[in-house]
Chain A
Amino acid sequence: MPMTITEKILAKHAGLKEVRPGQLINAKVDIALGNDITAPIAIKEFHSAGADKVFNKNKVVLVPDHFTPNKDIKSAEQCKILREFAQEQKLTHYFDGGDVGVEHALLPEKGIVVPGDLVIGADSHTCTYGALGAFATGVGSTDLAAAMVTGEAWFKVPESMKFIFHGKLNKWVDGKDLILYTIGDIGVDGALYRAMEFCGPAIERLSMDSRLSMCNMAIEAGAKNGIIAPDKTTKAYVDKRAERPYKFYASDEDAVYSDVREYDCSKIEPQVAFPHLPENTKNISDVGNVKIDQVVIGSCTNGRLEDLRVAAKILKGRKVAPYVRLIVIPATPLIYRQAMKEGLFEIYLKAGAIISPPTCGPCLGGHMGILAEGERALATTNRNFVGRMGHPKSEVYLANPAIAAATAVKGRIAHPDEVVRK
C-alpha cells in the first residue's frame, strides 16, 4: 500500500508495516521535549505516577526558554523544577544560562533531532522539525509525562494534505511568506488534525532556515505536523550536526492525500498577517498606512542567521524611526555569536536596536518587550492573537524579517524596496 512520508515514519515507530489515516497507534518517540512552562506540570505528573527514572536520559530534552532569563520569582521557581529534574535524571540535553536558545532553533542546530525521527514536544511549535524530514508534533504536559515514563505516545494517524509550490520566489519573499500565504488560503483550521506536506520545485530550492520557518507555522493552520521530504539541502545541514544515525523517508508517488493544492510562487508577494489571526493575510502592497510602535525580529519562526542577515542588510546605515523600538533576538547562542562575528550587531546597534539574549520572551507576551494598551507591533513571530504580546487591547502584525526591518526604519509597515534603493 502506498504511504505518505508522515505515514511511513509513524508506521516505523509503531512497529507496523503500514498505517492508515484514522488508525490509533502507540509509537516510540525519539525525542520528548519540554520547556519552563510545560515541563513543571509534566515533572509533577511523572513523580505522582510513581516513576523514578525517565525512559532514556538522552531522549528527554528540557529547554527553559520562555520566561528566561527568569522574569520573576514564580518563573524562577518553574525553572528550578527543570534544573533539579535534569540534575537528578542526569539528562544529556538540558540547556541553561548561556547555553539556552529558543528550543525549536536549538534542537535542529545541535543535531538532537534528525531526519526520520518521531518527536513530541510540550510546545505547539514542535512541528518545526518537519523541515528535517521528521514527524514532530506538539502535545501537552500530560503527554510529555507519559512519554518520559514509557518512551511512547499515542497518535491518531493523520490524513495528509499536499502543498506544491511552483515557480521562482519574488524578491524579499521567503519561507515565512509561503506559509502565511498558505494559512491565508486554507484558514487557521484548514489543516485541522492533518499533516501538511510541502513540496515542489520552489521548496526544493528553499534554504533550511526557510523550511524551518514554514514547518514551524503548520500549527497555525491547525495541522498535526508540517513536513518536507529530506534532500541534499537537508543532508548538507544534518551531516555536520546529527548526533545519531538518521533515515530519509519520502512519500510514495501514489500516496493518498485528502487535498492537493498548487501555488505559483511568482504570484506571491511578501505577506502581512493582520490582527488577530494568522489567516488574516494581506499582500504587502495592499497594507496601507499602518503605524507601528515596536518591531520584533526573532522567535522559533524567524530568529535564525538568515533572518538576522536580511534584517541587517536593510538596517545597514539606517536608523530606527523615532519613538519606535526594534528588538532583535538571535534564537540561539551559536546564532548570536555568528551574528556578532559577521558584524551584524554593529549594524543593529548603530540603527538604535535592542539586542536581546535568546528567549521566547515577547513572542508570547512573557517579558522582554511587552506592549501597552493600544500599541501595535510588527513581529517575525508566529501568532497575532488578542493580547499575544501584552495588553489585550494591543495588536500584533506578522511578517518576514525584511519587512520587519523596513518597518522599523519607516515607523509604519513598509516594503523593503521603500528603504533599500536599487
Chain B
Amino acid sequence: MKFRGKAWKFGADVDTDQIIPARYLNTSDPKELAKHCMEDADPQFVNKMKPGDIIVADKNFGCGSSREHAPISIKAAGISCVIAKSFARIFYRNSFNMGLPILECPEAAGAISGGDEIEVDIDTGKIVNLTKNKAFNSQPIPSFMQELINTGGLMEWVKKKIG
C-alpha cells in the first residue's frame, strides 16, 4: 500500500490529550472525533490538512492515555500515515489493532520538514521525501503485526481464529 501526501510536523511527546482532548471523549463517533483531531497541538490543523496528508513527529508520539479515540480521530480526519522517531506503546498497539498505518523512522522524522511532499510504501517501509529527493527505510514491522495488518486488524484476526 502506497500513500502520498504533504507532511505536517509535530514535536516530541505529543500526548493523546493533544491528539484528542478528553472534553470530546463523550462520544466514540469517528466523524465527531475527526473534527477535533490534534486540536490542542494545533487548533487549525483539521482546517489546514488534506485527506492523504501525513503526520511527522519527533519521539514518543501518542504518549499518555490508552484512548483509541486518538488513532481513530487521526484516521477519520483522513491522515494516511504517521511517521515518528518513536511511538508510545499503547498508541503503537492501538494503531495496528485498528488499522492506522504508522512507521517508526528516526532519520526520516528528523529530516522531513513541514510541507514536504512524502511518499510512503507501507509494505516495504520505504519513505521518500519527494521535495528533498531523499529516501529512508523505516524499522521493519514484526511479522505477527504484519499478519494483523494483512488480516485487516485485530478483530478480523480474532474472527478468523474463532471462525
Question: Which A residues have a C-beta under 8 Å from some C-beta of B?
Answer: 24, 37-38, 40-41, 44-45, 48-51, 66-67, 71-72, 74-75, 78, 121-124, 126, 138-143, 145-146, 149-150, 154, 156, 188-189, 192-193, 219, 222, 224, 277, 364-366, 383, 385-388, 392
Contact = CB atoms under 8 A, between A and B. Distances in A.
B117 interface: no
Interface of B: 13, 15, 17-18, 21-23, 25-28, 40-41, 43, 59-60, 63-69, 72, 86, 88-90, 93-94, 97-98, 142, 144, 153-155, 157-159, 161-162
B63 to A, nearest CB: 6
B144 A388 contact: no
A386 B40 contact: yes
B97 A143 contact: yes
A150 B72 CA distance: 23
A77 B158 CA distance: 27
B111 to A, nearest CB: 21
B66 A38 contact: yes
A188 B162 contact: no
Nearest to A223: B89
A150 B161 CA distance: 9
Contacts of B155: 45, 48-49, 142, 145-146
A176 to B, nearest CB: 18
A189 B13 contact: yes
Given A38-B66, A142-B98, A387-B21, A192 B161 contact: no
B66 A140 contact: yes
Given A122-B66, A222-B60, A385-B64, 17 more contacts: A50-B159, A72-B26, A74-B26, A121-B66, A123-B65, A140-B93, A140-B94, A142-B94, A145-B154, A146-B158, A189-B60, A189-B86, A192-B86, A192-B88, A386-B15, A386-B40, A388-B22
Contact of B17 (A78, A219, A388): A388
Contacts, number: 139
Contacts of A138: 66, 90
A115 B72 CA distance: 34
Residue among A78, A145, A146 with max Cβ neighbours from chain B (10 Å): A146
B154 A146 contact: yes
A24 B145 CA distance: 10
Contacts of A365: 17, 21-23
A264 B3 CA distance: 51
A124 B158 contact: no
A150 B162 contact: yes
A210 B32 CA distance: 39
B22 A141 contact: no
Nearest to B30: A41
A24 B142 CA distance: 9
Contacts of A383: 15, 17, 64
A122 B158 CA distance: 18
A211 B93 CA distance: 27
A41 B28 CA distance: 7
